[in-house]
Structure 1
Amino acid sequence: MTVSRASNPTRRQRDGTAFVGGFGKTTGDSDLLFVEGQLPERDGTVQHHLTAPEQLERCLATLESKLAAHGSELEGILQVTIYVTDMDSYDEINAVYERHFQEPYPSRTTVGVCDLLGGAAVTLDAVVALE
């Protein structure tokens, strides 16, 4: 039996972080900020050599910087979606998440995926309430 994939890993919607295609990085012109496709980047390069938990740390550090630019903090996050290429790293990723957020945690969905842009193991989206 042949299993077909929903995506082909040789096709990219963007190459690295320079080309964003139809994807935005942040959107919103209201009291909500939508951050999408937050990759584990440093100086415009995806840090794909890091472990999945280290990549999530990088994503969250960048997210904190973006939020600070909007006068917000992690406490303003309402919802997070984490995409991960290896669900075996779930427990380690969860530990990172718990270190960065306090109870009551923002709602979260963790999605296992085949492939992420730039060879990343983790990326995230967030919905943030701006006050």
Structure 2
Amino acid sequence: MENKQRAESRPVRISETSRKQRNGSEFVGAFGKKTGSSDLLFTEGLLPEQDGTVARNEPPSRQLEICLEKLEAELNRYGKGLDNVLQLTLYLTDMDAYEEINETYEQFFDTTCPARTTVGVCELLGGAVVTVDGVIAIE
């Protein structure tokens, strides 16, 4: 009984109303694109979407390309580029594609790649093979 009361008193975690939600993606649920109001930009759940559809049939390297191109376009809105990326987390459903992903990742950054963590997962939204979270300096 006590455990049930504790569970009922916990607030449900969903996106706050101040977060910008993706428009038109049926795969998203409560995942926001941008959070916070500081000199850092946090991106989460950046999917390889083209025209509102996840490019699930593309190879992992192309899916990462799409994610990083979308990230770069978003940063351009702030007058920034990929050199402002401090850290990325890549979620990958096929760890056998790690080397392929590495090559694509290195092509997007000049001399120094930002810190990166690659996490193997079982499944991603919309059947994607890759999704990206990031921390970017926009000061």
Q: Which has the higher contact order (CA 8 A, sep 6+)?
A: 1
Alignment of 1:1-131 (within 5 A): 17-18=25-26, 20-131=28-139
Contiguous gaps of at least 5 residues in structure 1: 1-15
Q: Percent identity?
A: 58
Runs of 4+ in 1 over 4 A off after TM superposition: none
Give the greater-gyration-radius structure (CA).
2
Aligned length: 116
TM-score normalized with structure 1 length: 0.84
Separation in 1, partners of 2:113, 2:100: 17
The one-letter amino acid of 1:93's match is I
> Normalization by structure 2: what TM-score?
0.79
Is the CA contact (8 Å cut-off) linking 2:27 and 2:125 kept in structure 1?
no
User: How far is the alpha carbon of 1:19 from its aligned partner?
Assistant: 5.3
Task: Confirm or deny: 8 A CA contact 2:28 2:125 kept in the other structure.
Answer: no
Q: Counterpart of 1:68 in structure 2: which amino acid?
A: N
C-alpha distance in 1 between matches for 2:128 and 2:27: 15
Tell me how far 1:22 sits from its aligned partner: 2.4
CA contact (8 A) 1:17 1:118 kept: no
